[in-house]
Homo-oligomer: A and B are copies of this chain.
C-alpha cells in the first residue's frame, strides 16, 4: 500500500515551504509527476512552471506521453486516490504514518531480536559441542565475536560510514532543527540494521546494546514515512519532518523495550530546549502502536502467552520494601552518581586518546575491521569462561544477566542454608566454582568498567545505554546483597529484615546509573515498564534523582554531550556545556555573506538577476539599495510567475505594485545571542529570520546559516 501511494502521489510544489502560498496555487491539484528525488535545475523548473500553467485543465494522465503502462498507471492512480480519500475521511494522513512507524519499528525490533537470539544460540551450541577441548573452545569463544565485530565494522565502513556508533548524538542534533541528510538515508538504515545484528550477536563479551541505534533507525524510517506523507498530502514538508523525528525518538525506545510512556519521556528529554505540545499525542499514539505490535508479535511467535513486560519480575507486592530502606536507596543513588562520574571521565579520556594517539588514529581511519576484530578478540579472551570469565558470569547473554540480577531472592549463602532451600538455585553463573557472589559481582564491576570504555571505541553500530543499565543493576545488586547480608547477620533478632529484596536495589541501581550517565530521568520509569511492577517506583525515582544531581553538578557534559563535542556536531546544548559563554555571543559577529535583496522599485531585469543568482525560496525587499530599510519579503514562486507574465506582456510597473510584499512577523537584532536566535528558529517555526539594525536589513538567518554558525563555534572549542 505504501509503495502504491509512493508512485501515485501528488508532488507538492517545491518552492512552497512558506505558509503564504499564492492564491492561484492553493487547493488545486498538482499534475506533474516527477521521479522522486530527481535533480531539477532552474531552467527546467521554469519550463515546468510554464507547462503547469498551460496544462492546467488537461487530464493528469495524458501529460507524460513517454511513460510506459499508461493504462495500468491510470488504474493504480485512481485506486490510490480513492484510498487516500477513504483514509483521509477518518483522520489526517499523518496519523496513518505514525501508526505505520510504530508497526514497522516493532516488526524490525522483533526481527532483530529473533536474528540475534538465533546467532547467539548458534554460538552457544558450538561452544558446548566443543566441551572437553579447551583450546578449541577458546578459539570458538573468541573468534566468533571477533569476526562478527569485524564484519559489522567493515560492512558499515564500506556501505555507509555514518552508521557507526549510537546515533543518539546525531538524532539530538536533528531534533534541534539542524538538517543532516546523510544520517537519514535508506542506505544508512540498511547498514545500521545489519551491522547492529552483528554487534548484538557478539553477545555479552562485547557488552553493547540496542536502544541508541534503534532510536536512530526509527528516525530514518520516520523521515522516509514523512516524505511519503508529504507527497500524498500537499503539506509543509519541513514541519512534518520535524514532528516525525520527535515521534520517531519515542517509538525507538518504545518498540525496543515495549515501554510506551518512558519512550515519550525520552522524547521530551532529548529535545533541545522546548517540547512542543502538538507532538505529545502523536508520540503517545505511535509509541502505543509500536508497543502493541511488538507485544502481539511475541504472542504470535509463541514466546509468551500475553502482552507482558520484557523483564518481568516477581517482587513481593505486599511489602516491597521497608520505609527505612529509602535511606539505603538514596545512598545507592549517590553511589551510582559517583560511579557515573568515574565512567564518564574514563570515557572522555578515551575519546581524547583515540583522537590524539597516532597509532589509534591511523588504525581507526584505515583498518577499522582489524581494530574491531582485535578489540573484540581481547574482550572475549578476558571473558573466556575457563579463565577470568568464571568470576563474572560471562556465559550469560545480556538478557540473562539482567534477568538474573533482578531476581528477588537473595543470593548470599546465609539464606540458602536457612530458609529457601526448597526453591531452585537462582544463581548458576554468579557463584560457579564456589565463589562468593560478592567476589563475582566485584570482579564483574571492576572488569566491565574498562572493557565497556574500550568497547565504546569500536567503530560499529552499537548502543551504549543497555550496558550501563546492566552495569548499574550489578552495582545495585552488590549493594543490595551487602545490605541483606549485613542485616541478616547483625540484626538477627529483628527477624523481618531477613526479607530484604536485593532485586529492588538492582533495579534502582540500573535506573540511577543509566540516568546519571545520560543525564536523563526517563530510565526511572523505564525500569518500571521493563519489569512491569510499580512497587519500587518511589525509591527508584529517588535514586535516579540523586544520581542525576551528582552527575550534573558543575555543568559536566553527559555521555551523549561528550560524543557530540568530540564529533563536533552543531548541537547547541552540548556546545554550551563545553563552553558556557559560547552561545551568548552576538549573532551579528557570525553573519555570513550578504544576501540577494530586491528594492521596492525593482523592475523585471533586477528580479530576473535576483532569481538567477540565488536559489532561496524568499527574497527580502528593501526600501531602496541606499536606505536599506527592510519592508518584507517576496516569494520566489510569485517572482517566477511575474517574470513569466512579463515575457508575454512587458510591464513597466515596479515590484511593490505587482507583487505582494509579505511582512516578516519577527525581526532580530544583530545583538541578539546565538541561543536566542536558535530558540526563535525552533519555536516560532519561521524558516528565515531577518536581521535588522535600526530598520536596516543586515542579514538573514536560516537553519543552514545556523548550522554553519554552530559548526564554527564547535571548531573554536
Interface pair B537/A529, CB less than 8 Å apart? yes
Asked if A579 is an interface residue, CB under 8 A from chain B, the answer is no
Residues of B within 8 A of A260 (CB): 537-538, 541
Distance of A321 Cα from B295 Cα, bound (Å): 12
- Segment touching B, from A342-350, A452-460, A660-668: A660-668
Residues of B within 8 A of A281 (CB): 521, 545, 548
Partner of A694, one of B299, B542, B629: B629
Shortest distance from the beta carbon of A581 to any chain B beta carbon, whole Å: 15
Partner of A274, one of B277, B292, B665, B667: B277
Contact bitstring A76-101, B, C-beta under 8 A = 1, else 0: 00000000000000010000000000
Partner of A538, one of B269, B285, B291, B319: B291
Partner of A284, one of B284, B305, B545, B623: B545
* Closest partner residue, chain B, to A573 (CB atom): B277
Shortest distance from the beta carbon of A35 to any chain B beta carbon, whole Å: 36
- Segment touching B, from A21-29, A369-377, A670-678: A670-678
Residues of B within 8 A of A60 (CB): none
Interface pair A538/B288, CB less than 8 Å apart? yes
Interface pair A271/B277, CB less than 8 Å apart? yes
Distance of A358 Cα from B91 Cα, bound (Å): 42
- Segment touching B, from A156-164, A379-387, A648-656, A679-687: A679-687
Interface pair A541/B268, CB less than 8 Å apart? no
Known interface pairs A281-B548, A679-B684. Does A309 touch B534 (Cβ–Cβ under 8 Å)? yes
Shortest distance from the beta carbon of A62 to any chain B beta carbon, whole Å: 39
Interface pair B630/A695, CB less than 8 Å apart? yes
Shortest distance from the beta carbon of A576 to any chain B beta carbon, whole Å: 12
* Closest partner residue, chain B, to A325 (CB atom): B306
Shortest distance from the beta carbon of A487 to any chain B beta carbon, whole Å: 16
Known interface pairs A534-B309, A535-B532. Does A268 touch B276 (Cβ–Cβ under 8 Å)? no
So how many copies of this chain end up in the complex?
A: 2
Contact bitstring A299-314, B, C-beta under 8 A = 1, else 0: 1000001111100101
Asked if A415 is an interface residue, CB under 8 A from chain B, the answer is no
Asked if A17 is an interface residue, CB under 8 A from chain B, the answer is no
Known interface pairs A274-B277, A534-B534, A538-B291. Does A623 touch B694 (Cβ–Cβ under 8 Å)? yes
Shortest distance from the beta carbon of A511 to any chain B beta carbon, whole Å: 12
Residues of B within 8 A of A629 (CB): 694-695
Asked if A669 is an interface residue, CB under 8 A from chain B, the answer is yes
* Closest partner residue, chain B, to A663 (CB atom): B671
Interface pair B292/A320, CB less than 8 Å apart? no
Asked if A322 is an interface residue, CB under 8 A from chain B, the answer is yes
Asked if A232 is an interface residue, CB under 8 A from chain B, the answer is no
Known interface pairs A275-B277, A669-B665. Does A545 touch B305 (Cβ–Cβ under 8 Å)? no
Interface pair B667/A668, CB less than 8 Å apart? yes
Partner of A273, one of B277, B288, B692: B277
Q: Which of A303-342 contact B (CB under 8 A)?
A: 305-309, 312, 314, 317, 319-323, 326
Shortest distance from the beta carbon of A706 to any chain B beta carbon, whole Å: 15
Distance of A231 Cα from B91 Cα, bound (Å): 51
Partner of A323, one of B268, B306, B694: B306
Residues of B within 8 A of A714 (CB): none
Partner of A292, one of B532, B538, B667, B695: B538
Shortest distance from the beta carbon of A515 to any chain B beta carbon, whole Å: 10
Asked if A280 is an interface residue, CB under 8 A from chain B, the answer is yes
Contact bitstring A544-561, B, C-beta under 8 A = 1, else 0: 010011000000000000
Asked if A398 is an interface residue, CB under 8 A from chain B, the answer is no
Interface pair B274/A276, CB less than 8 Å apart? yes
Asked if A427 is an interface residue, CB under 8 A from chain B, the answer is no
Interface pair A305/B319, CB less than 8 Å apart? yes
Asked if A525 is an interface residue, CB under 8 A from chain B, the answer is yes
Asked if A696 is an interface residue, CB under 8 A from chain B, the answer is yes
Interface pair A275/B268, CB less than 8 Å apart? yes
Interface pair B683/A288, CB less than 8 Å apart? no
Known interface pairs A275-B277, A306-B323. Does A679 touch B683 (Cβ–Cβ under 8 Å)? yes
Residues of B within 8 A of A295 (CB): 323, 538
Distance of A663 Cα from B586 Cα, bound (Å): 11
Asked if A631 is an interface residue, CB under 8 A from chain B, the answer is yes
* Closest partner residue, chain B, to A298 (CB atom): B323
Distance of A623 Cα from B696 Cα, bound (Å): 13
Asked if A528 is an interface residue, CB under 8 A from chain B, the answer is yes
Shortest distance from the beta carbon of A442 to any chain B beta carbon, whole Å: 30
Residues of B within 8 A of A277 (CB): 268-269, 271-275
Residues of B within 8 A of A630 (CB): 694-695
Partner of A307, one of B529, B538, B631: B538
Asked if A187 is an interface residue, CB under 8 A from chain B, the answer is no
9 tightest A-B CB contacts, nearest first:
A695-B695, A665-B672, A663-B671, A274-B274, A667-B667, A275-B275, A683-B683, A532-B534, A663-B669
Q: 26 A–B contact pairs at CB < 8 A?
A: A268-B275, A268-B277, A274-B274, A274-B276, A275-B275, A284-B521, A284-B545, A288-B542, A292-B538, A299-B323, A306-B321, A306-B322, A308-B320, A308-B535, A317-B532, A532-B535, A532-B537, A533-B534, A663-B672, A665-B669, A665-B671, A665-B673, A680-B680, A680-B684, A683-B683, A692-B695
Contacts A284-B541, A695-B695 aside, 14 further interface pairs with beta carbons under 8 A come to A261-B525, A268-B275, A268-B280, A269-B280, A284-B521, A306-B320, A307-B538, A317-B532, A533-B534, A665-B671, A665-B672, A665-B676, A666-B680, A679-B683
